[in-house]
Structure 1
Amino acid sequence: MMKLSIHSIRLSSLGLAVIFGLAGCAGDPLESGVDPFAPMVFKEGLTAMPLNPPNKATTQPFYVSQQTIFKFAVDTNSILIGNDGITRYVVILTSPNGNSQVQYEGIRCDSFQWRLYGTFENGTWKENPLSSWRAIQDNTPNRYQAALAQGALCNFASQEKNIKNILQSLNPNGFTGQTKPTNSFGVIN
């Protein structure tokens, strides 16, 4: 009988030691410095420049605003939905005189920011050494980043993770960029 109670006490003690040990592993967030409710710190992944120029067969024009005189298009084959929360894409900006500029950019939906990674000049991609994150301007005529973010790449403040949804949103018959088009369909001549 005495052996049984000593055995029970030993098992109970061992059980309590395991429970306290596991509880100690969990740690107190205030002691460990890790707050489970704190916002996550953004860490951008590596960004490689595209290997090819935009493909005219996969270029999709999109509407930006009534006030713009430029036309805008995105190469749908270039759209990359990054695990780091950035959607990267190649955009083509065309002025009224027909001159085009091709840029490789990224959009962060969580902070509503964009970044210019590089430009396509004289047949090659050139990285932008001064690239930094900038706030997306929603109240300017050439607000194409806002139109892309609000119309296709983001679901409010979160990144759209489904490429089919993005491509469907870029369809000129349904793309609004938050505002219904009235004078332009973003057609590139």
Structure 2
Amino acid sequence: MSRLLRTLSNYSACMALAATLIACAGDPMESGMDPFAPMVFKEGSTKMPESPPNKSSLLSFYVSPSTIFKFSVDTQSISIGADGVTRYIVVITNPSGEEQAQYEGIRCDSYQWKLYGNFENGQWKENPLAEWRDIKMKVANRYQAALAQGAFCNFNSQEQSMNTVMKSLNPNSFTGGTKPSNSNGVIIGY
């Protein structure tokens, strides 16, 4: 009988150990073991630019017929981050010619943008309230949407080729100010 009790005891100990190991493994959807599990966004560190916008590399782009502002992106400032964020300097010019420069980022996966800082009094000032905001489609000054649709995003994925981004920003072929349509020509997202 003692041999049977020892066998049952060993069996019980093995079952308890197996249950503990299974519990430690956790849910594959939460542990990251499941390749189909949703990815959690982790933003990399962002440093403010060291210099003002480069006037010689500013490229104007079309936003919408209802805007009164002119928008330009500093093509030398564009960086395609490994964290999925494309960062850039945008220069906004009002009708009287005054300019405002901003350092921003766009996430294609969530279709959001973030204002990292502004260029004021000859230096970059970090935005202490920087947070991810939805890109607005139905506003006159929809420049983040124009950049995302026209150059920085390939649908909901970040464009990885700087060459493709630069070709897309070409004023003769830039499509960021147009509404996206499906293969039947039906306007989507509006």
TM-score, structure 1 normalization: 0.78
Residues 1:75 and 2:74 are matched in the alignment: yes
Q: Where does residue 113 of structure 1 map in the other structure?
A: 112
Residue 32 of structure 1: how far off its partner (Å): 2.6
Distance 2:24 2:55 in 1: 55
SS in 1 for 2:67: coil
After the TM superposition, list the runs of 4 or more consecutive aligned residues in structure 1 that deviate by more than 3 angstroms: 27-31
Distance 1:48 1:151 in 2: 25
Distance 1:72 1:152 in 2: 14
Distance 1:142 1:100 in 2: 15
Q: Where does residue 37 of structure 2 map in the other structure?
A: 38
Closer, same or farther in 2 for the Cα pair 1:100/1:29, shift >3 Å? farther
Q: Where does residue 124 of structure 2 map in the other structure?
A: 125
Q: Is the 8 A contact 2:57 2:74 kept in 1?
A: yes
Q: Where does residue 155 of structure 1 map in the other structure?
A: 154
Q: For structure 2, which runs of at least 5 residues remain unmatched after alignment?
A: 1-17, 180-190
SS in 2 for 1:165: helix
The code of the aligned residue for 1:128 comes to N
Alignment RMSD: 1.8
Distance 2:105 2:135 in 1: 11
Q: May I ask how many residue pairs the two structures share in their alignment?
A: 155
Distance 1:46 1:71 in 2: 30
Distance 1:110 1:144 in 2: 18
1:7-156 equivalences under 5 Å are 31-35=25-29, 36=34, 37-156=36-155
Question: Over residues 81-129 of structure 1, what are the superposed CA-to-partner deviations in whole Å (9 max), with x where a residue is unaligned?
Answer: 0000000000000000111100000000000000000000010000000
Closer, same or farther in 2 for the Cα pair 1:109/1:30, shift >3 Å? farther
Distance 1:61 1:129 in 2: 28
TM-score, structure 2 normalization: 0.78
The code of the aligned residue for 2:28 comes to V
Q: Is the 8 A contact 2:80 2:86 kept in 1?
A: yes
Q: Is the 8 A contact 2:84 2:158 kept in 1?
A: yes
Q: For structure 1, which runs of at least 5 residues remain unmatched after alignment?
A: 1-23, 181-189
Q: Where does residue 4 of structure 2 map in the other structure?
A: none
Closer, same or farther in 2 for the Cα pair 1:90/1:28, shift >3 Å? farther
Q: Is the 8 A contact 2:71 2:90 kept in 1?
A: yes
Residues 1:169 and 2:168 are matched in the alignment: yes
Distance 1:72 1:34 in 2: 45
Q: Is the 8 A contact 2:62 2:177 kept in 1?
A: no
SS in 1 for 2:28: coil
